[in-house]
Structures are given as structure tokens and as C-alpha cells.
A and B are shown apart, each in its own frame.
Chain A
Amino acid sequence: MKKLIVGAMLLGASTLTFAQPGCGVGAMIWKGQSGAAPHILAATTNGTFGNQTFGMTTGTLGCNTNESVQSMAMYMNSNADKIARDMSRGSGENLDTLAVLLGVEQVDRDAFRSLLKDNFAAIFPSSETTSGEAVDAIVALLEQHETLSKYVAA
């Protein structure tokens, strides 16, 4: 029943209960798991789009202290291909969830959706883009945006 353990961890992520934001949260959660957990991930990532691993060493994510960004990263990691699909269409409940995790208010949701849709190719430059890299790209886009930058301020 390792599945349950994974569930419990994601629950932790989704309810913003990170005790120690900072470098290595993702690594702490995903690294060093063996047995059933990677199999479950494999079952959901096999052949689908989005390489679902955190880019811990290269990305800025690991050291972003914004809890919302951490939560979004967690969600992204387990739902990358559904988010990518919604992003390409500019609508969908997974995209809305991303907005909720980042705390984007209703008035800014349209701007958020179209920003991600219009910059799809920048967020996912190739089929090998990891979810960590995609999160970094999203954060960078938001930071440059006039009204949306407030949601990713560290």
C-alpha cells in the first residue's frame, strides 16, 4: 500500500502544509523511493507527454521559497500532461487548479490562462521538458508580467 503513502504526501502538498520551504522539498518527496511508488508513476507517465521529474539541480524551483510555487510544482509533477493539454487549449480544470494553487484571483484568471496558452512553446520547448523546467518557465513568465508577478513574489 505504498500508493497510500504517495497519496498522503500529495495531500500534504495540496493543503500547503510545507513545514520547511526551500531547497530540496521535491527531492525529499520523490527521491529515494523504491518499489511501488515509481511503478505507479510509471503507470501514469508511460509514453505520455511531459517528463515528470523535478529539475532539482538546474532549476530555480528548489530554492524558491514561495509556498504557492512549491504547491504548484507538486501538482505539476503529478499532472503534467493534463496541465499541458489544458494549457494548449487555454481552458480546463487542471489549469484552474494551477491558478488556485498560485492564489491567482478571479479577476486575473483570464490573463493567467492566455499568458500560459500564448507561451506554450516557451514553457514546453520540447517533449523532453521536465515538469521542473516547465515550472521554472511559468514562474519566469509570471515574474515579467505586470499584474501577475505578485503571485510568484518570493
Chain B
Amino acid sequence: MPAPLRLALAAFGLAISTLTPADTAPNTSQLALEPGWLTLGHYRPNRFGNGYTSQADDQNFFLNPLGELSPKAELDATLAAIQLPGSGDGHARCRFPARDRWLRARLDLPEAPISCPAFEQWQRTLNTDTVTMVFAASYLNSPSSMFGHTFLRLDPPSDDQSTDLLLANTISYAADAAAHDSELLFAYKGIFGGYPGITTVQPYYDKLRLYTDIENRDLWEYTLNLTPDEVDQLLAHAWEIRDRNFDYYFFDENCAYRLLALIDVARPGTNLLGEVSTHAIPSDTVRWIVDKDLVSEIHYRPSAATTVSYGLDQLPAAQRQLAAGLAQGNTAVSAPEVSQLDAPSRARLLDATYDYVRYQSEAEGWPRAQAAPLSHNLLRARSEIDDATEPSTPPPPAIRDDQGHDTFRVSLGKGRLGDRSFSQLTLRPAYHDLLDPPDGYRRGAQLQFLRLDARYYTGPDELQLERLIGVEIRSLSPRDDFFSPLSWQVGFGGRRTDVGSDRVLTPYLEGGAGGSWALSPASQTFALVTADLEIDDDIHRGYDFAPGVDVGLLYQSPRASLLTGVRSKAWIVSNQHRQDQLYLNGNVHLGRRASVFAEFARERHFNRYQNLWQLGLHGYF
């Protein structure tokens, strides 16, 4: 046996003999309830009764079979195990290096050296100097992306010349859904549990391909100000949970949640998880790390779509036409209109056109037979231009996603429907509608969850549930010469509907599709074909269906938002009546915390006219 190893073993023996379990037993009840230990074990207070339960759904995460329900039992088992002699990958100190560090620091145990080849190899491979939280913003027309997504990037030391952020590794936590599960099953299991959540390590360039090139989401990179020791502890804990199962839930225990736990472990006392109430929306979690002064630097990385739009916008009008002609194959790359341009202009034109063709290939599936030869011609022509300036990149938006309004909205209003007055209370846990302050959100995008409208009528006094939205998504996305997205909407829930004699609460399902066209950077006009289904036994045949149209105008600015238009529905199954509505909604924004809202609607239904007025205040929390 080599001398240093013998020495190490002797030190071990000493450590054990001076710190017998009898010495520590009185202290561990207290210690086991310290935030540091509870965070390491992912313990949360039980909702009912005393005690704690770990969120880990994996027996291998515990050294004591009772560890899941007992922080103390797990702490005692860990304390005993890390003081056992021996070493190697199977040793408790190698399996739980973060617990080992924490306990040693907390109990002043001697730093006994140990060899953990697998963990050390992992640390070497990750070669981490700083940690960056990357936030993938939502993208219009992609409702599943609207909550955003977060993951951690492990940045190598920046002083050596082999540094390359594209090759940096990332840690993310995701639902391990079977590929063949349907969307519906995915949604169900995501909400009620059933998918294992797993921690994965991937190179950053792989993430960029997914988010920047395929999903077209802008990325915000928040470099955390963790110290080297904190970074080590974060990685050590990431190692502990690496192959361990934590069931995945969309709303709370989601991708963002587990990353917050990692940061809490890295910097004890941060308590980011304490901010999580019913749901952890990634954009909110980014707000929290900013508020808790965890961020040293923020960097913006535009998506392919953002880059393409920007590149095309930078071209003079005539060259935009030329770019469209090149992309459609109507103009050859060698055409005189192109070659007579001066070198810098030609370079900008070819760059923008190539980026557009590449984007269309990804997003719209342009056939390879068309795109590949064109791409090749564009790139070859570009490579022959020498004195071009570096292509300019899109500037970061003035307002970041985490600087937008908070997502929980409470509203109070006074109004009048026909000849009855009412007061209205609206609660909306998430997320954003077209009339909310637009900064930090995608223009024309709306996503509302579990919104509840309650009204108290006077004369006679009556409390009514006016509306309960399950989910409501709208995506108004302007079309132009280069892009032709579909605008669409879908929603379900319960709402008051006029059945002729009374207004009854009716389950509904609605949808629509059409187009939108920009009038100015802040305004767009849209036209949608809609379909509505209502089901209720108060309706003559039990259900009713209405095709319809919705044509309107949307204006969004940091000061005020306006949505106005006309809606017409023809109920064709039960009541055989047209329902026509003129609507006008305006909000005046008082910063990002509050808005004054006003609403007017005039409706013709069952050959009667009825007016709705409402005025009130939105608060964002």
C-alpha cells in the first residue's frame, strides 16, 4: 500500500474514533431541519400534518429506507456512511458529494481525502468556471412555448483559448415522455403526474439547434455570480440527482423548479423555492434570480427568425424586392441587378437572402431540391466578396421578458349590462392577454389560464359566476411579403350565454383561424373565421353550434392598448339566431404594475339590443 493512501486511511480511522455516532446523535434532530439539509434532500413540509416528504421519487436517492419521509433518519444514515472507510465510486461520499461537503462544513469534520474516479471525471469533463441560466423565450404561434423554458449552461474558464461557449455543456430537467404518447395524454400526465423527470447533460450547440433554429425562440443568458465554491457545490448536487427520478409536473415541479433547487443548494439561504406557490413559470423564475441579485451579466441571443426579420428589415426597399426575387428563384444570383451593387450592399443582400431561405427550409419545409442549389449559389457568391463589414446582429429588446408585467392579475370593475348594474372581480393566475402591457411579451400573443370572473348584480342582488376560462390562446401574427403565418385562437371553459329568457352558465369550446396584417409597428388588423360550441340542458337541443367571423383592430403600446372590432355568430342548431356584437376594449397602462381598463360592447341577439359597459383597474402581482 502506498504511503499517502495509508496515511489517508489512518486519518479516516482517526476521524471515526473521534466522532462516534453517540457524540453527534443529540445534534442531528436540529441539523436535519436546517434549510441547507432540507434543500439537499428536496424535502418539503407536508401539506397536512407535521413532518416532511422528499420530492425525490427514487429509492436510490436515499441511504436510509425511511429517508423519503424522515430528514433526520437520512441525515444520520448519511453521516454514518460518509465516515466509513474505503473509497471508490460506490462509496457514499462519491455518490453524495454535496451532502458530504455540507455535513463536513457544518460539523467541522476533518477534510479526509477520497478518490471518486467517476465523479472526478465528470467534473473534469464539465470544466465549469461559471454557471449561466438560459431562458428560452416564448415564440408567437407556439402555445406550448409560451411559458418559456430554462436550463443551466456550464461555462468553461474564459481565459484559455480553447474556450468555446457552443461546446459548453448544459444541464436541464425535463419530462421523460414516451415518444408515442399523444398530446392529450402528455397534457394529462403533465398536469396530474405520471412522467418521470430526468436531468440531462447536453452541449449548448445542441440546445441552440433546437431553440434558435427549429423552435425560433430568442434566448436570454443570465450569468450567475456564484463563487467557485458555490459552483462546485452546484455540480456536486447535480451529480447526486443526475440519474434520480423526480416526477415531473407542468405547473410546479417543472423544468425551472429543479434548477432553482440546484441554485438553492449552491448558495444556502437563497430560498428560491420559497417563491414558488402554485406554479413556477420560467419567466417568473428568471425574475426571482434577478431580484435576489444572483445575476452578474445578461446576454441576448436572437433566434433564427429574429435574425432573418432583422436582416430583411435592414435592406432598402428595392433590395428587399430583390431578396424576394432571389429566394423565389425569379432572379438569378448572377443577375446584373445583383452584381452591379457595391460589395457591402451585395454582401448584406446575399446574407439576408440566405438566412431567409434557410429559415423557410426549417420552418416551412421548402423542398431540398429547391433550397439546396439556391443556398449553395448564394453562399458561393458571398464567399467571393472580400471587403464586407461584419453582418450586424439584431439589438436586444429594450425590455427583457423578465421585465414585463407580473403574470398573476387581479381586477376590480364596475359595470352595467342592459339595465342592471354590477361589480366584477376577476382573478387570472396566468399569463398575458392582448390588452395587458405588451413590453416583455410577444406582440399579438395571448395565453390565459384558469381565469375567473365573478359579478355581483344589484336590483335584485345576486352573485353570479360570469365566466371561468380553462385555457384561452390567441396568436395574431402579421403576414408580409416574406412570412405568411396563420393567426389562430382556441379556448374552453364556462360562460354565461343568453338562451332567450335567461343568461345561463354554459360549458363552451371555441376556435378560429385567419390572417393578420400590420398597419404600423404597433397596430395590426385581423380577420378570423370562428366556430363556437356550447353544451347545456337549458339550450333547446342540449347543445348549439355557431360558425362566425371576427374582424378587428389591435393596437399595443407601452402606454395603452386597444382592441376593437365586430363579431358575428350564426347559431344554427338550437336557437337559429344571429348574434352580432360590436366591441371596444381599451387599457391605459400605469407602469407594469397596473392598468385602467374600459370595455364597451353592443350586442344584437334574439332581435334585441343590449349594451355592456365596464370600467375598472387591473393589478399585476
Partners in one complex: yes
Residue contact B202 to A48, C-beta cutoff 8 Å: no
Binds A, one of B255-263, B271-279, B382-390: B382-390
With A and B bound together, what is the CA distance between A63 and B533 in angstroms? 65
Q: Does B536 contact A (CB under 8 A)?
A: no
Binds B, one of A21-29, A80-88, A136-144, A145-153: A80-88
Most chain A CB atoms below 10 A, which of B177, B365, B366, B383: B383
Smallest distance from the beta carbon of A99 to chain B beta carbons, Å? Answer: 9
Residue contact B167 to A48, C-beta cutoff 8 Å: no
Chain A facing B: main interface SS: helix
With A and B bound together, what is the CA distance between A121 and B390 in angstroms? 21
With A and B bound together, what is the CA distance between A143 and B253 in angstroms? 53
**Interfacial chain B residues near A78, Cβ < 8 Å:** 205-206, 209
Q: Does B589 contact A (CB under 8 A)?
A: no
> How many contacts between A and B, using CB within 8 angstroms?
127
Smallest distance from the beta carbon of A137 to chain B beta carbons, Å? Answer: 14
From B163, B169, B379, contact of A49 by CB (8 A): B379
Which of A71-116 touch B at CB < 8 Å? 75, 78-79, 81-82, 84-85, 87-91, 93-94, 96-97, 100-101, 103, 105-106
A side interface size, CB within 8 A: 49
Residue contact A100 to B361, C-beta cutoff 8 Å: no
From B351, B371, B379, contact of A84 by CB (8 A): B379
The proximity string for A residues 111-125 relative to B, scoring 1 for CB distances below 8 Å and 0 otherwise, is 000000110110010
**Interfacial chain B residues near A75, Cβ < 8 Å:** 205
From B179, B366, B391, contact of A36 by CB (8 A): B179
Q: Does B164 contact A (CB under 8 A)?
A: yes
Residue contact B361 to A47, C-beta cutoff 8 Å: yes
Chain B facing A: main interface SS: helix
Residue contact A49 to B376, C-beta cutoff 8 Å: yes
B side interface size, CB within 8 A: 47
Residue contact B358 to A85, C-beta cutoff 8 Å: yes
Residue contact A48 to B375, C-beta cutoff 8 Å: yes
Given the contacts A4-B200, A11-B169, A47-B365, A17 and B379 also touching, CB distance less than 8 Å: no
Given the contacts A88-B379, A120-B383, A81 and B358 also touching, CB distance less than 8 Å: yes
Residue contact B167 to A14, C-beta cutoff 8 Å: yes
Given the contacts A11-B201, A97-B164, A118-B383, A89 and B376 also touching, CB distance less than 8 Å: no
Most chain B CB atoms below 10 A, which of A1, A14, A106: A14
**Interfacial chain B residues near A84, Cβ < 8 Å:** 379
Smallest distance from the beta carbon of B166 to chain A beta carbons, Å? Answer: 5
Smallest distance from the beta carbon of B590 to chain A beta carbons, Å? Answer: 42
- Known interface pairs A1-B179, A10-B206, A49-B358; 12 further A-B residue pairs with C-beta atoms within 8 A, sorted by A's residue number: A14-B167, A15-B167, A44-B362, A47-B367, A47-B368, A78-B206, A81-B375, A85-B379, A88-B379, A89-B382, A93-B165, A100-B163
Q: What are 26 A-to-B residue pairs whose CB atoms are below 8 Å? A: A7-B203, A8-B202, A10-B205, A15-B125, A17-B125, A44-B362, A46-B365, A47-B365, A47-B371, A48-B372, A78-B209, A79-B205, A82-B213, A85-B355, A88-B354, A88-B378, A89-B351, A89-B383, A89-B388, A94-B166, A100-B162, A100-B164, A105-B161, A124-B376, A124-B380, A127-B372
Which are the 7 A-B pairs with shortest beta-carbon distances? A120-B383, A47-B361, A49-B375, A127-B376, A7-B202, A127-B372, A88-B379
**Residues of chain A whose beta carbon lies under 8 Å from any beta carbon of chain B:** 1-2, 4, 6-8, 10-11, 14-15, 17, 35-36, 43-44, 46-49, 51, 75, 78-79, 81-82, 84-85, 87-91, 93-94, 96-97, 100-101, 103, 105-106, 117-118, 120-121, 124, 126-128
